[in-house]
Amino acid sequence: MNLPKQLRAVRVYSFTSCLRLTDAVWVALLAARGFTLAQIGLAEAVFHLTSLLCEVPSGVAADLLGRRLNLAVSAVFEIFSDVTMAFSPNLAAVCAAMALKALACTMISGTLEALTYDSLKTAGRENEYLQADAKISVLQKLATALGSLASFSDALQFAGFYLANAAICFCSLLAALTLQEPLVTEAQAARQQNPFADIAARLRVHITDSAAVLRTTPLAVRLITADAIISLPSYLTTMFVQQRLVTLGWDASWLFVSPLLASAAAMVCTALARRLHPGKLRPLYRLCALVCGGGVLLAGAGPAWGCLVGPMLVQASLSVWFLHAMQRFNDAIPSDRRATLISVDNTAYSVLMIPASPLIGLIADVTGLAGAGLCALGGLVLLSALALPRRK
């Protein structure tokens, strides 16, 4: 394997898969078409319900059939999602588009990390994963920031935003097709020769062995739990800050400012976090959860500037936590089960997001305050930091 070429292709795929022109404004776009926050929250819940159902199966597919194939299929589903949303006439179509988007995301999550880690492992350089992941993370956040700038333009209408997304997704598809499948174990090499051979028997063994890894690896279970809790504000803060800024008098064309600043803060903290060497993750989680929860409260209850600073604190703390948590998680799990177990990690997040998303939207609708739900969410994250027991 040509590792430099492989990593370049991974970075291109990572960048284009995160370059979404609608992520910063989709709530405002749907609200402008007459959808309530509760309806928008329901669409988001559909996204996470689909993620819950498909996350682990997509990880299993990546481990059994190939990570490169998963990434290519993800790009195809994302294109279908954008086209469906572009011409969606009602809530049912919006929910269908969100389900397709969720399916695309599940095909990436776990798969991209597994492909990157095992690509390094083929060269005996898996100890460089944190540095490689940091570079990928910076590119993803840069893409998110650039995508948020699209809301400043009046050139695109609702359909135009999503059709432009579809064109970018096609670039992701091309990048996926240039990747090579990393073969670390004998099982992966055999799978590459005939990925569908004895698939039923291999599936049973794969599920049994993956469950055994979780039973015998307490660190992995603790990380999965911590990741799910601290991840909750990641997207919900961005989502509901959009509407809160509108209620505070901001024009929709300026909504890009909040996610742009949040992405910039995340990029800076990701670069700095590469230089950290925490001996234990427990104190790191406590610090990151306190900063994250405080940022959510600021975004929900503060003035307009709080809607800018709050998301910055959230994304900055999450970038530090996940950079180190994912390194430890990958080190603790086997290559043959890597994508599956990372998918389990992401599934735990979806389990919490299914009730959280509509509930936060409902709190906002009932109270008439777009930030009320965010305040409740920030309190939950702070509680997780304060309730974390000290290990003697």
Three-class SS of 64-75: HHCHHHHHHHHH
DSSP letter string over 10-70? Answer: HHHHHHHHH--SSTTTHHHHHHHTT--HHHHHHHHHHHHHHHHHHHHHHHHHHHHH-HHHH
As separate numbers, helices (DSSP H) first and strands (DSSP E) second, the chain gives 16, 0
The confidence score (pLDDT) of residue 153 equals 59
- Report helix, strand or coil for 180: coil
Whole-angstrom distance, CA of residue 230 vs CA of residue 318 = 7
The pTM of the full predicted model, rounded to 2 decimals, is 0.76
The confidence score (pLDDT) of residue 285 equals 92
Whole-angstrom distance, CA of residue 40 vs CA of residue 50 = 16
The confidence score (pLDDT) of residue 289 equals 93
The confidence score (pLDDT) of residue 392 equals 36
The confidence score (pLDDT) of residue 172 equals 93
Whole-angstrom distance, CA of residue 200 vs CA of residue 319 = 38
The confidence score (pLDDT) of residue 39 equals 82
The confidence score (pLDDT) of residue 389 equals 56
End-to-end CA distance of the chain: 46
Q: Which of 333, 5, 346 is closest to 184 using CA atoms?
A: 333
Enumerate residue ranges in the chain where pLDDT < 50: 392
The confidence score (pLDDT) of residue 275 equals 82
Residues 6+ apart with CB under 8 A from 249: 304
Burial 373-385 (b: 16+ CB within 10 A, else e): bbbbbbebbbebb
